[in-house]
Structure 1
Amino acid sequence: MSEQETGSQKKHERDPITGLIHGDDGKQRCWWYGGLEDYQRYHDTEWGWPVDDDRRLFEKICLEGFQSGLSWLTILRKREGFRAAFANFEFEKVAKFTEQDVNRCLEDTGIVRHRKKIESTINNANRALELREEFGSLAAYFWSFEPKPENRPPRIDFETARTLGKTEESTALSKDLKKRGWSFVGPTTVYAFMQSMGMVNDHLEGCFCRELVEEARDTFVRPKRK
Structure 2
Amino acid sequence: MSYCNYIPTMKEPSRSLHQNYHDNHYGFPIHDDNELFGRLILEINQAGLSWETILKKEESFRKAYDAFNIEKVATYTEKDRERLMSDAGIIRNKLKINAAIENAKTIIELQKQHGSFEKWIEMNHPKSKEDWVKIFKKTFKFTGGEIVNEFLMSIGCLKGAHAENCPVHQQILKTKPMWLKQ
Deviating above 6 A after TM superposition, structure 1's stretches of 4 or more consecutive aligned residues are none
Q: Does 1:49 align with 2:28?
A: yes
Partner residue in 2 for 1:74: 53
Partner residue in 1 for 2:134: 175
Partner residue in 2 for 1:8: none
Equivalent residues of 2:149, 2:158 under 8 A apart: no
Matched residue count: 174
Q: Does 1:193 align with 2:172?
A: no
CA distance in 2, matches of 1:146, 1:204: 22
Of the structure 1 ranges 171-180 and 201-210, higher mean CA displacement relative to structure 2 is found in 171-180
Which residue identity lines up with residue 146 of structure 2 in the other structure?
A: T
Q: Does 1:116 align with 2:95?
A: yes
Structure with the greater alpha carbon radius of gyration: 1
CA distance in 2, matches of 1:221, 1:80: 31
In angstroms, what is the RMSD of aligned CA positions? 1.9
CA shift, 1:222, in A, is 4.1
CA distance in 2, matches of 1:145, 1:38: 32
Q: Does 1:215 align with 2:167?
A: no
CA shift, 1:145, in A, is 3.2
Equivalent residues of 1:145, 1:169 under 8 A apart: no
Aligned runs of 1:16-165 on 2, under 5 Å? Answer: 19=1, 30-33=4-7, 34-35=9-10, 36-147=15-126
CA distance in 2, matches of 1:51, 1:32: 24
Give CA deviations for 1:79-132 in whole Å, capped at 9, x if unaligned.
Answer: 110011111111100011011111111110100010110011001110111111
Structure with greater proportional helix content = 2
CA distance in 2, matches of 1:82, 1:214: 29
Partner residue in 2 for 1:4: none
Equivalent residues of 1:174, 1:185 under 8 A apart: yes
SS of 1:39's partner is helix
SS of 1:78's partner is helix
The percent identity for this pair of structures is 35
Which residue identity lines up with residue 103 of structure 1 in the other structure?
A: E
CA shift, 1:221, in A, is 4.9
The TM-score with structure 2 as length reference comes to 0.88
CA shift, 1:56, in A, is 0.8
Show structure 2 runs of 5+ residues with no match. Answer: none
CA distance in 1, matches of 2:53, 2:70: 23
CA distance in 2, matches of 1:101, 1:69: 24
CA distance in 2, matches of 1:191, 1:146: 14
